[in-house]
């Protein structure tokens, strides 16, 4: 009896796909957990295990799982504790998720929240084999600061985050000026994404400490793209955002930080919708940015670049599970047209933050040369 049940389960596991394998019981708390929280956990194969306390619930599900399987259904283990493990290993890197309790959507109380999908979502980190480049190390660290600037065009106090590299505040550096990268989040996210989910500060700190790049400043602000409804992408011309960015924020940053303020020391890049926004703004404001970057955010056609001398370097990237051929070919077409371009493909990742962390690392050494 037991054996035949095992045979059925093995057959079921086989049906779940090629990823089915024996699960190693070496689960550890996800590094994004709230202080003192054991769950969610992750094992060395990339499986995620969730545990939720909901004594009177009838059904508990987690939105994270394998594509097409609608997430992970948790099982009541007794004493109000629900537990479940993903049906297979997840891609390395950061994932958003939420919990469904009897049909209502909540966050996992075990983990920290991150702004994505136009709401603060739960986050989990599947340790990447190359996670060292954004690890917290005992190297000199830069700061990330919240800036509130008045926007006359939108009649609002608006927010930006500014990464200043280590040594920026040091008394002996007070004459030193820095180039600036304006780096945009994707749809559903906001100006907190690149430091919280993206670890832009740690990536920069580690590259600067290793002598791989010269220090520069990064600025993140809200791209106003969350106001678009799906199916109405073409209505978004980013003109309101262009005014905020180019006529309000950039002058504010140049007045309040020690920046090099010419176009050859200013870059714009963005991920996903932020890449789309970058395309729109850089092509209209050719006098303002010398370097462009699109991270899983499309590409430029050679025809769109009116004068190859208007831009020094274009960076285009995506994950290998996205559209790597499109990205590679578009860089080739740009280079063939006399516009210097570099493509980058993140191995084994999709439209997620590990792809973009790696892209920032690949793009940074190409800027301000």
Site residues (CB under 8 A) for a second copy?
Answer: 34-36, 52-59, 80, 99, 101-107, 109, 112-113, 118-120, 136-138, 141, 143-150, 157, 162, 164, 169-171, 174, 195, 201, 226, 255-258
d(CA 88, CA 20): 6
d(CA 51, CA 81): 7
What residues are paired with 219 via a beta bridge? Answer: 162, 182
Of 206 and 349, nearer to a second copy (C-beta) is 206
Helix (H, G, I), strand (E, B) or coil at 367: coil
| Beta carbon of residue 197, minimum distance to a second copy (angstroms, whole number) | 15
| Beta carbon of residue 253, minimum distance to a second copy (angstroms, whole number) | 9
Of 11 and 148, nearer to a second copy (C-beta) is 148
Q: At what angle do helices 353-363 and 200-209 cross, to 10 degrees?
A: 30
Element (H, E) at 220: strand 217-221
| Beta carbon of residue 290, minimum distance to a second copy (angstroms, whole number) | 23
| Beta carbon of residue 217, minimum distance to a second copy (angstroms, whole number) | 11
| Beta carbon of residue 118, minimum distance to a second copy (angstroms, whole number) | 6
Is 278 within 8 Å of 293 (Cβ atoms)? yes
Of 56 and 67, nearer to a second copy (C-beta) is 56
Of 170 and 347, nearer to a second copy (C-beta) is 170
Of 74 and 366, nearer to a second copy (C-beta) is 74
Helix (H, G, I), strand (E, B) or coil at 291: strand
Quickly tell me which residue has 């109405």 as its tokens: 232
| Beta carbon of residue 115, minimum distance to a second copy (angstroms, whole number) | 9
d(CA 142, CA 165): 4
Quickly tell me which residue has 């919240």 as its tokens: 146
DSSP string, 198-228: T-HHHHHHHHHHTTSS---EEEEE--SGGGS
Burial code (b: 16+ CB inside 10 Å, e: under 16) for 68-80 equals eeebbebeeeeee
Task: Give the contacts of 349 (CB within 8 A, at least 6 positions apart).
Answer: 91, 92, 93, 319, 320, 321, 355, 358
Show the tokens assigned to 353: 């933050």
Quickly tell me which residue has 């002996």 as its tokens: 172
| Beta carbon of residue 136, minimum distance to a second copy (angstroms, whole number) | 5
Task: Give the contacts of 317 (CB within 8 A, at least 6 positions apart).
Answer: 293, 294, 295, 296, 327, 343, 344, 345, 346, 355, 359, 362, 363
Of 154 and 323, nearer to a second copy (C-beta) is 154
Of 7 and 256, nearer to a second copy (C-beta) is 256
Of 19 and 117, nearer to a second copy (C-beta) is 117
| Beta carbon of residue 35, minimum distance to a second copy (angstroms, whole number) | 6
| Beta carbon of residue 173, minimum distance to a second copy (angstroms, whole number) | 10
Of 165 and 298, nearer to a second copy (C-beta) is 165
């Amino acid at each position: 009896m037991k054996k035949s049940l095992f045979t059925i389960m093995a057959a079921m596991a086989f049906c779940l796909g090629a990823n089915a394998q024996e699960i190693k019981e070496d689960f550890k708390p996800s590094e994004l957990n709230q202080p003192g929280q054991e769950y969610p956990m992750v094992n060395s194969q990339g499986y995620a295990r969730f545990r939720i306390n909901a004594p009177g619930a009838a059904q508990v599900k987690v939105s994270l799982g394998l594509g097409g399987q609608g997430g992970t259904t948790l099982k009541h283990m007794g004493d109000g504790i629900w537990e479940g493990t993903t049906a297979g290993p997840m891609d390395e890197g950061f994932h958003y998720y939420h919990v469904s309790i009897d049909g209502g959507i909540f966050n996992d109380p075990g983990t920290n929240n991150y702004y994505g999908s136009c709401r603060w979502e739960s986050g989990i980190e599947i340790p990447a084999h190359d996670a060292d480049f954004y690890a917290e190390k005992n190297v000199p660290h830069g700061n990330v600061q919240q800036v509130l600037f008045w926007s006359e065009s939108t009649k609002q106090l608006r927010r930006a985050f500014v990464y200043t590299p280590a040594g920026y505040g040091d008394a002996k550096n007070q004459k030193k000026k820095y180039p600036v990268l304006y780096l945009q989040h994707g749809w559903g996210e906001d100006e907190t994404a690149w430091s919280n989910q993206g670890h832009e500060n740690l990536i920069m700190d580690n590259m600067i400490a290793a002598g791989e790049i010269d220090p520069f400043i990064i600025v993140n602000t809200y791209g106003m793209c969350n106001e678009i409804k799906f199916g109405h992408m073409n209505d978004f011309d980013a003109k309101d955002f262009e005014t905020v960015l180019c006529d309000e924020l950039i002058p504010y940053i140049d007045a309040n930080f020690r920046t090099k303020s010419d176009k050859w020391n200013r870059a714009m890049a963005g991920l996903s919708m932020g890449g789309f926004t970058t395309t729109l703004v850089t092509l209209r404001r050719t006098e303002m940015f010398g370097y462009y970057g699109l991270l899983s955010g499309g590409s430029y056609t050679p025809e769109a670049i009116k004068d190859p001398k208007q831009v020094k370097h274009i960076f285009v990237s995506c994950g290998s599970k996205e559209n790597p051929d499109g990205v590679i070919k578009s860089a080739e077409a740009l280079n063939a047209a006399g516009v210097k371009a570099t493509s980058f493909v993140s191995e084994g990742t999709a439209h997620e933050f590990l792809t973009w962390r790696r892209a920032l690392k690949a793009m940074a050494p190409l800027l301000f040369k």
